Amino acid sequence: MSNVLSVGVIGAGGIARSHMNAIEANDNIRVVAVMDVDPDRAGAAAGDHGASVYTDLEPLLGDARVEAVHVCTPHSLHADQVVAAAAAGKHVLVEKPMALTLTDCDRMIDACDQAGKILMVGQVMRYYPVNRGIRKMIADGEIGQVGHLIRRRYSYFNPTPAGSDSRHWYLDLEIGGNCVLYCFGPHEYDILHWYLNSPVTQVYAQGSESTDLYQGQKDSYTAMMTHENGAVSVLSQTVVSHTGAHDQYIVGSEGSMMLSGDKLTVNGQEVSVEGSSREGMPNQIREFADCCLEGREPDASGHSVRHSMAVIEAAKLSAERNAPVQMSELERT
């Protein structure tokens, strides 16, 4: 068996370029093919990496050199492309969000399980050194039993910037889903239960349309989640705040942590963590290649991330119902 994984990249936009640049930073994976419906975009991306160019999915999946694919396309396309890749005998790394419905998440998981192929989701924040450090500190009991987490992600994301039409699909709920939940939310909802290694059991959320930028979508959500171990986490998000924030507070029985960017403070003292968030994508892609080559399940597997997508679905349902949602309602039957 080769010690280098040969992959095809489906999509050639900005996130696909990030994947390809991270592939170049690793020695256990290489790009051999790129597919995009825009031939110029596919050609430019492929040319930078010496890869073959495709404008349709089927020929790429039929390329015998391609052992795995990276799915880097608009959200609504993920499920069908993952299922097709599994049927063609390819391992899959799919960008977040895994899918827009739990039914599609389940289709993806089942297709890869039945084909005996790896399914990994691009939850890149799990691969930031500082987040790995926080998870280990919590597991090691460095701040005792965690009782409360508060996390904020405030930003201003314009889906229709002047002079560009590349983001317009973020306004289409059928293609992108609600932007604050399905574009940014997959990172934020995923990291909270991952830190604690404790699934969410109940979600209560409220959403609002603070501006008309998203043309009828809610652009801000706050959710309160109860975890199986008794901890409570609160996540507040918006995509219409001109002053940004990306931070969190974790309170335990014997201490507390605060994170802002890559700066981690434990019990009021800054703690040095080797590495930066820029290493997240290369770390993630190295694990994907290792898992495909060695036949082991990745941390951000489809099975693991399905729970994160169910929590997002619960937040959406809770805001619609104006009532808490029990996660048992959304478990696989």
For the chain, which domains are there? Answer: 5-123+282-299 (3.40.50.720), 126-276+308-330 (3.30.360.10)
For 44-61, what is the mean pLDDT?
95
* Whether 124 contacts 280, CB under 8 Å: yes
Neighbours of 180 (CB within 10 A): 23
DSSP assignment letter at 89? T
Listed in sequence order, the DSSP H helices in the chain are 14-24, 39-49, 57-61, 78-87, 102-115, 129-139, 173-176, 179, 185-196, 280-294, 302-321
pLDDT of 278? 95
pLDDT for 234 beyond 70? yes
The pLDDT of residue 122 is 98
**Token pair for 38:** 């825009």
Give the pLDDT mean for 280-303: 98
What token pair was written down for 165?
Answer: 């039409």
pLDDT at 310 over 60: yes
Report, as an integer, the average pLDDT of 267-293: 96
Checking if the pLDDT of 1 tops 70, the result is no
- pLDDT at position 333, please? 72
Distance between CA atoms of residues 293 and 26, nearest Å: 14
**Mean pLDDT of the 105-122 span:** 98
User: Are the C-beta atoms of 189 and 177 separated by less than 8 Å?
Assistant: no
What is the model's pLDDT at position 51? 96
Residue 162 pLDDT class (50, 70, 90 cuts): low
What type of residue is 79? A
Q: How far apart are CA 107 and CA 306, in angstroms?
A: 11
Q: Is the pLDDT of residue 115 over 60?
A: yes
Question: What pLDDT was estimated at residue 164?
Answer: 66
